[in-house]
Chains A and B, each alone.
Chain A
Amino acid sequence: MELIQGNEACARGALAAGLKFFGGYPISPSSEIAEILSSRLPRAGGVFVQMEDEMASLGSVIGASLGGLRAMTATSGPGFTLMQEHLGYASLAEIPCVVIDVMRVGPSTGVPTAPSQGDVMQARWGSHGDRAALALAPASVAEVYDLTVQAFNIADRLRAPVVVMFDEVIGHMREGVELVPPRPEDIWRRPDPVGPPGSGHRAYAPNEEGVAQMPRFGDGYRFHVTGLFHDERGYPSTNAELVRQTLERLERKLAPVPFWLPPEKYRLGDASFVFVAYGAVSRVAREAVDRLREEGVAAGLYRPRVLWPVADAQLREDLAGAETVVVAELNRGQWVDVVARALPRSIRIVSHGKSGGEPVTTDELLAAAADLQPRSVKSS
Chain B
Amino acid sequence: MTTTAKALLRREMMPHILCPGCGHGIVMNTMLRVLARRYDNLNNVALVAGIGCSSRIVGYIDANTLHTTHGRALTFASGLKLARPELKVIVVTGDGDGLGIGGNHLIHAARRNIDLTCILFNNETYGMTGGQLAPTTVREAFTTTSPAGNTEPHFDAAALATAAGASFVGRGQAFRPDALEEVLERALDHRGFSFVEVMTDCTEYFGRKNSLGGGSDLLFTQSRSDEEVSRDLSEWPSLRPGEGWQVRETQPIGVLSEDSRPAFEESLGLPGYKRKET
Q: Given the complex, which residues of A lie within 8 Å of B75, measured CB to CB?
A: 23, 51, 55-57, 59-60, 63
| From B10, B67, B84, contact of A67 by CB (8 A) | B84
| From B72, B78, B83, contact of A55 by CB (8 A) | B72
Look across to chain B and name the residue whose beta carbon is closest to the beta carbon of A63: B79
In the complex, the answer to whether B12 meets A217 with C-beta atoms within 8 Å is no
In the complex, the answer to whether A226 meets B69 with C-beta atoms within 8 Å is no
In the complex, the answer to whether B104 meets A227 with C-beta atoms within 8 Å is no
Asked if A21 meets B83 with Cβ closer than 8 Å, knowing A56-B72, A235-B59, the reply is yes
Q: Given the complex, which residues of A lie within 8 Å of B108, measured CB to CB?
A: 51-52, 56
Is A85's beta carbon under 8 Å from chain B? Answer: yes
In the complex, the answer to whether A227 meets B67 with C-beta atoms within 8 Å is yes
A contact patch SS:
mixed
In the complex, the answer to whether A21 meets B46 with C-beta atoms within 8 Å is no
- Measured in the bound complex, the distance between the Cα atoms of B63 and A184 in whole Å is 34
Q: Given the complex, which residues of B lie within 8 Å of A57, measured CB to CB?
A: 75
B37-72, CB < 8 A from A:
41-44, 46, 48, 58-59, 62-69, 72
- Measured in the bound complex, the distance between the Cα atoms of B35 and A222 in whole Å is 15
- Measured in the bound complex, the distance between the Cα atoms of B22 and A189 in whole Å is 45
In the complex, the answer to whether B79 meets A217 with C-beta atoms within 8 Å is no
Asked if A218 meets B69 with Cβ closer than 8 Å, knowing A47-B270, A64-B79, A69-B83, the reply is no
Closest beta carbon of chain B to A159's beta carbon, Å:
15
In the complex, the answer to whether B82 meets A47 with C-beta atoms within 8 Å is yes
In the complex, the answer to whether A60 meets B82 with C-beta atoms within 8 Å is yes
A191-238, CB < 8 A from B:
197, 199-200, 216-220, 222-228, 235-236
In the complex, the answer to whether B87 meets A217 with C-beta atoms within 8 Å is yes
In the complex, the answer to whether B78 meets A218 with C-beta atoms within 8 Å is no
Q: Which of A21, A67, A71, A86 has the most CB of B within 10 A?
A: A67
- Measured in the bound complex, the distance between the Cα atoms of B48 and A217 in whole Å is 11
In the complex, the answer to whether A66 meets B69 with C-beta atoms within 8 Å is no
Is B86's beta carbon under 8 Å from chain A? Answer: yes
Closest beta carbon of chain B to A372's beta carbon, Å:
47
In the complex, the answer to whether A63 meets B66 with C-beta atoms within 8 Å is yes
Is B248's beta carbon under 8 Å from chain A? Answer: no
In the complex, the answer to whether A236 meets B59 with C-beta atoms within 8 Å is yes
Closest beta carbon of chain A to B46's beta carbon, Å:
6
Closest beta carbon of chain A to B72's beta carbon, Å:
4
In the complex, the answer to whether A199 meets B84 with C-beta atoms within 8 Å is no
| From B48, B64, B82, contact of A218 by CB (8 A) | B64
- Measured in the bound complex, the distance between the Cα atoms of B12 and A197 in whole Å is 17
Is B179's beta carbon under 8 Å from chain A? Answer: no
In the complex, the answer to whether A64 meets B69 with C-beta atoms within 8 Å is no
Closest beta carbon of chain A to B240's beta carbon, Å:
39
In the complex, the answer to whether A63 meets B42 with C-beta atoms within 8 Å is no
| From A51, A218, A225, A235, contact of B44 by CB (8 A) | A218
Is B148's beta carbon under 8 Å from chain A? Answer: no
Q: Map CB proximity to A onto B199-210 as digits: 1 under 8 Å, 0 otherwise.
A: 000000000000
Look across to chain B and name the residue whose beta carbon is closest to the beta carbon of A67: B83
Counting chain B residues whose Cβ lies within 8 A of the other chain, the interface size class is 35 or more
Q: Given the complex, which residues of B lie within 8 Å of A219, measured CB to CB?
A: 43
Is A309's beta carbon under 8 Å from chain B? Answer: no
Q: Given the complex, which residues of A lie within 8 Å of B78, measured CB to CB?
A: 23, 49, 51, 56, 59-60, 63
Asked if A63 meets B76 with Cβ closer than 8 Å, knowing A56-B108, A217-B46, A235-B59, the reply is yes
Is A163's beta carbon under 8 Å from chain B? Answer: no
Q: Given the complex, which residues of A lie within 8 Å of B105, measured CB to CB?
A: 52, 56, 59
Q: Given the complex, which residues of B lie within 8 Å of A227, measured CB to CB?
A: 67-69
| From A21, A47, A89, contact of B68 by CB (8 A) | A89
Is B233's beta carbon under 8 Å from chain A? Answer: no
Closest beta carbon of chain A to B211's beta carbon, Å:
34
Closest beta carbon of chain A to B68's beta carbon, Å:
7
In the complex, the answer to whether A63 meets B77 with C-beta atoms within 8 Å is yes
- Measured in the bound complex, the distance between the Cα atoms of B48 and A226 in whole Å is 10
Closest beta carbon of chain A to B43's beta carbon, Å:
5
Closest beta carbon of chain A to B31's beta carbon, Å:
16
Q: Given the complex, which residues of A lie within 8 Å of B81, measured CB to CB?
A: 63
Look across to chain A and name the residue whose beta carbon is closest to the beta carbon of B42: A222
Asked if A67 meets B72 with Cβ closer than 8 Å, knowing A218-B64, A226-B59, the reply is no
Look across to chain B and name the residue whose beta carbon is closest to the beta carbon of A228: B67
B77-98, CB < 8 A from A:
77-84, 86-87
Is A61's beta carbon under 8 Å from chain B? Answer: yes
In the complex, the answer to whether B67 meets A59 with C-beta atoms within 8 Å is no
Asked if A60 meets B79 with Cβ closer than 8 Å, knowing A68-B84, A218-B87, the reply is yes
Closest beta carbon of chain B to A265's beta carbon, Å:
40
- Measured in the bound complex, the distance between the Cα atoms of B268 and A330 in whole Å is 41
| From B44, B48, B67, contact of A63 by CB (8 A) | B48
In the complex, the answer to whether B104 meets A52 with C-beta atoms within 8 Å is yes
Closest beta carbon of chain B to A96's beta carbon, Å:
13
Asked if A218 meets B84 with Cβ closer than 8 Å, knowing A59-B72, A225-B66, the reply is yes
Q: Given the complex, which residues of B lie within 8 Å of A51, measured CB to CB?
A: 75, 78, 108
Q: Given the complex, which residues of B lie within 8 Å of A200, measured CB to CB?
A: 10, 12, 62
Look across to chain A and name the residue whose beta carbon is closest to the beta carbon of B63: A222
Q: Given the complex, which residues of B lie within 8 Å of A68, measured CB to CB?
A: 83-84
In the complex, the answer to whether A64 meets B67 with C-beta atoms within 8 Å is no
Closest beta carbon of chain A to B8's beta carbon, Å:
10
Is A251's beta carbon under 8 Å from chain B? Answer: no
- Measured in the bound complex, the distance between the Cα atoms of B41 and A235 in whole Å is 20
Asked if A199 meets B13 with Cβ closer than 8 Å, knowing A89-B69, A218-B46, the reply is no
Sorted nearest first, the 7 A-B pairs with minimum C-beta distance are: A63-B79, A59-B75, A67-B83, A60-B79, A63-B80, A64-B79, A63-B76
Could you jot down 16 A-B contacts, CB within 8 Å? Answer: A47-B82, A47-B268, A47-B270, A56-B105, A56-B108, A59-B76, A60-B75, A60-B82, A65-B83, A66-B80, A67-B79, A69-B83, A85-B69, A199-B10, A225-B66, A227-B67
Question: Besides A61-B79, A63-B76, 10 other CB < 8 A contacts?
Answer: A51-B78, A55-B69, A56-B78, A56-B108, A62-B76, A200-B10, A217-B80, A222-B62, A222-B63, A224-B66
